[in-house]
Chain A
Amino acid sequence: MLKFSRRMIVAGLGSLMAFGAADAADWPQRPVTVVVSQAAGSSPDVLARIITDKLSRTLGQQFIVENRPGAGNVVGTQSVARANADGYTFLFGTSAALVTNPFTVKSLSYDPAKDFIAVSKVARSHLLLLVNPKIKANNLTELLALEKEAPGTLSIAVDGPRNISGLIAQSINKQSGSKFVLVPYNNINNAVQDSITGRTPVTIQSASVVEAFIKDGSLRPIAVAGNQRVPSLPDVQSISENFKDIDLQGWFMVMAPAGTPEAIIDSMSKAIAKALAEPDVLARAPTLGFEIESGEIVTPAGAKAFLDAQLVSTGKVIHSLGMEPN
């Protein structure tokens, strides 16, 4: 009886004062914020909303997605690095924020390894290298051979020199001696349009954006970023098959501020694993261009091991380009 009322007081205080060292059995006692470092409607946002919708049901508290876009994921990510480590703020982290920014942004205001604890890697986002069908190449080797015939004539649409697609294109140039001309686009849809019409015959785009164009034959996928092929496109090689070191990929990982109680991290991770296994989540993900993770990598330890490995491989790629943070 006494214990019961004390717990209620703690709960009341916790929700009033916006912090509280609740143990995992009590967590969550009030709504939980999940910060997305990109705008509402962006691909991490859509996935975060699908997952938090499930978490709200299984954990019995509202999980609220808060969009804090800006400065190439820095604004949102740093806000979680500085948040209370009480289990009520999480980050829906992007690969750009966690492994690219540390090497491209000067005096970055957070350290992905020290300021965060990995909770779960939730999904891989497929980044495809595609060509306009007029380009007679079915894989990266053939494309590079075509490029060698007339160096400097093929343009490749990317979203910026320091974004993943730009880094991939520059690394290919660097390692193969090719001279693809990078054309940066703020708006991916303009990039897609220009690739369909052949203005920029090569492009690197997220699978969700180009699915319809692959289906109707107006763009041909010839490689996928990272070291694994995509289940739905088994014949398309991964970039690592041609260039072992270029293992740059897009993915999303839920992170908590360093210092968050371990028990809460475990509960959150388990709830996420459960959400990821729900049939409707699995059914929706492929059309959105995501490959939902399962098993070891969804656990805190598995996610951390993956993050550490990605930090090393990404750092190597960016250093080899001679790129300085700015």
Chain B
Amino acid sequence: METFLSNLSLGFSVALGLQNLGLAFLGCLVGTLIGVLPGVGPVATIAMLLPITFSLDPTGSLIMLAGIYYGAQYGGSTTAILVNIPGEATSVVTAIDGHEMAKKGRAGAALAVAALGSFFAGSVATLVIAALGAPLTRVALMFGATEYFSLMIMGLVLAVVLAGGSVLKAVAMILVGILLSTVGTDLETGDERMTFGLIFLSDGIDFAVLAMGIFGVAEIMRNLAQPESRDVVRKPIGRLLPNREELRQSWAPVLRGTLMGSILGILPGNGAVLAPFASYAMEKKLAKDPSRFGKGAIEGVAGPESANNAGAQTSFIPLLTLGIPGNAVMALMVGAMTIQGIIPGPQVMTGNPSLFWGMIASMWVGNLMLLVINLPMVGLWVRLLKVPYRLMFPAILAFCCIGIYSINSLPTDVMLIGLFGLVGYLLIKCGFEPAPLLLGFVLGKLMEENMRRALILSRGSLSTFITEPISAGLLIVSAVLLVAAIIPNVRKGRDEMFVE
């Protein structure tokens, strides 16, 4: 405990230095801005800023880059809530209830709860990294292809729970999502699948393209089609900060989301992607009145946002303790470290303690800064909604096009968001929800890859999924969840009898 405290105080002495404070602030600010712009993600930004970090000292440059990363997570939720465009897989869930809240004039509360929940989650996750980072890594190493496949199955079951309406429609959407994820080059044979010989499809469909089209552009079409609901914003803004009732409803989801995110973030196979979905599904299951979800339930913002931020933070654990980056941003951080002559891995903690602990302390500092940057901005963001929609939607569309083009420099991506927008609009009209489709898309890729790899490693034996204990456990949990999702129809009847 004593060494833990002395480590932390070493960390804070580094993180609170004037230069590092400045860099953390800069990183958070840039991160927030690029997070708010749809499409422009932290990966592109960090890559572009890499040469700037050559002239900084290693600790300072990593603090700045980390700030961009979690700043982008904050900023991304702002766009999801205000205009229903999730820039990253992790803010898809925030868009569901967050945007509904915005429509009801509670955008301020949604933004504030997202910021407060994220701050809490970030603080806890920082402590988790500091105290448990090293031992938790061993758990992460136990996850191989077999385990990841079963984890993805669990994720898909959660997607069924996630959907608001009919289970059948949700399953259909998940399957379409999985189908879309199979477009592209086959990993094992190198053959092209469902690309129709089109070169821009040979790497598959980009998540950002699909999400921006099916959520963002479809939302704009829907708004334009229904003049009465268009001016969400005509309504009085109301209180900016959440009221007592909303805070009371939020604290438990924040705690649970933090726990969920902290655990899933540790898995290096992009497990953090599942965290907000899992948190949402859990909140919906635990809620007294699940029907409020999808119509602006504050728990549906508080839980997933906390899970998202906790996961973003704990995904540093495999990087810092093992040298294995958990996602694309972490891989860039490895690049930044090696350019500075620091080889990520367990030896950083012992060989370079001021960098290691300084970075951990700066995470907390950065989270505090994000709160300071974001809370006052809530008012500004909400006022943005007052801009008449006829002026707003061309701007949103323009930003989407610029953002999507900036990812791959492909004009076809810009056309595709239009196409997916149309598809998304038709789906909404027919009563299908886009969120399960996106989850199916994200998980489908990981699921296929891991299943095929698990089967190669087991030399074709399917029983590997049951004989591996962790995998078997996850499959059992999935089965239980699935039954629980289907049974309410049966149980509802029974409950009504009791009421009688």
Contact = CB atoms under 8 A, between A and B. Distances in A.
Interface stretch (A42-50, A88-96, A127-135): A42-50
Contacts of B480: none
B287 interface: no
Contacts of B203: 69-71
B457 A200 contact: yes
Contacts of B323: 212-213
Contacts of A197: 141, 144
Contact of B345 (A66, A71, A215): A215
Given A189-B324, A193-B141, A46 B268 contact: no
A260 B347 CA distance: 49
Interface stretch (A11-19, A177-185, A262-270, A301-309): A177-185
B467 to A, nearest CB: 15
Contacts of B188: 161, 184
A111 to B, nearest CB: 16
Contacts of B187: 160, 184, 186
Contacts of B346: 216
Interface string B37-71: 00000011011101100100000000000000000
A211 interface: yes
Interface in B325-377: 325-326, 328, 331-332, 335, 338-339, 341, 343-347
Contacts of A67: 47, 408-409
Contact of B269 (A39, A75, A190): A190
Contacts of A215: 343, 345, 347
Contact of B190 (A183, A211, A326): A326
Interface residues of A, number: 52
A242 interface: no
Interface string A41-82: 100011001100100000000000011111110110000000
B46 A212 contact: no
B145 interface: yes
B456 A183 contact: yes
B190 A287 contact: no
Contacts, number: 128
Interface string B131-146: 0000000000100110
A229 B189 CA distance: 31
Nearest to A192: B324
Interface string B290-322: 000000000000000000000000000000001
Contacts of B50: 41, 46, 49
Interface string B435-458: 000000000000001000100110
The interface centre, meaning the residue of B46, B323, B408 with most chain A CB atoms within 10 A of its CB, is B323
Most chain B beta-carbon neighbours within 10 Å: one of A45, A193, A213, A215: A193
B331 A160 contact: no
B190 A288 contact: no
Given A181-B456, A189-B324, A190-B269, A41 B46 contact: yes
Contacts of B47: 39-41, 45, 67
B189 to A, nearest CB: 6
B345 A70 contact: no
B242 to A, nearest CB: 38
A163 B449 CA distance: 17
A208 interface: yes
A30 interface: no
A39 B47 CA distance: 9
B61 to A, nearest CB: 14
Given A41-B50, A161-B190, A216 B335 contact: no
B158 to A, nearest CB: 22
Given A41-B43, A193-B268, A215-B345, A49 B199 contact: no
A96 to B, nearest CB: 12
Contacts of A45: 47
B329 to A, nearest CB: 9
A68 B324 contact: no
A89 B322 CA distance: 40
B51 A53 contact: yes
A50 B54 CA distance: 9
Nearest to B344: A212
Contacts of B7: none
Interface residues on B, range: 35 or more
A107 B408 CA distance: 23
B191 A326 contact: yes
A182 B452 CA distance: 12
Nearest to B453: A183
Contacts of A199: 144-145, 457
A212 B199 contact: no
B491 to A, nearest CB: 41
Given A71-B202, A161-B189, A186-B449, A40 B347 contact: no
A66 B202 CA distance: 20
A126 interface: no
Interface string A161-194: 1100000000000000000011111110110111
Contacts of A74: 199, 202
Interface string A192-206: 111011011000000
Most buried by B among A41, A70, A213: A41
A274 interface: no
In this complex, the member of A46, A68, A216 whose beta carbon has the largest number of chain B beta carbons within 10 angstroms is A46
A70 B324 contact: no
B223 interface: no
A185 B454 CA distance: 11
Nearest to A107: B197
B199 A70 contact: yes
Nearest to B445: A186
B410 interface: yes
Among B190, B326, B410, the one with the most A-chain Cβ atoms within 10 Å of its Cβ is B190
Contacts of B46: 41
Interface of A: 39-41, 45-46, 49-50, 53, 66-72, 74-75, 104, 109, 152, 155, 160-162, 181-187, 189-190, 192-194, 196-197, 199-200, 208, 211-213, 215-216, 280, 283-284, 287-288, 326
Closest 6 CB pairs of A and B: A40-B47, A212-B345, A162-B190, A71-B202, A41-B332, A41-B47
Given A69-B203, A182-B456, 10 more contacts: A40-B332, A49-B51, A160-B187, A161-B190, A162-B190, A184-B453, A190-B268, A215-B347, A288-B339, A326-B192
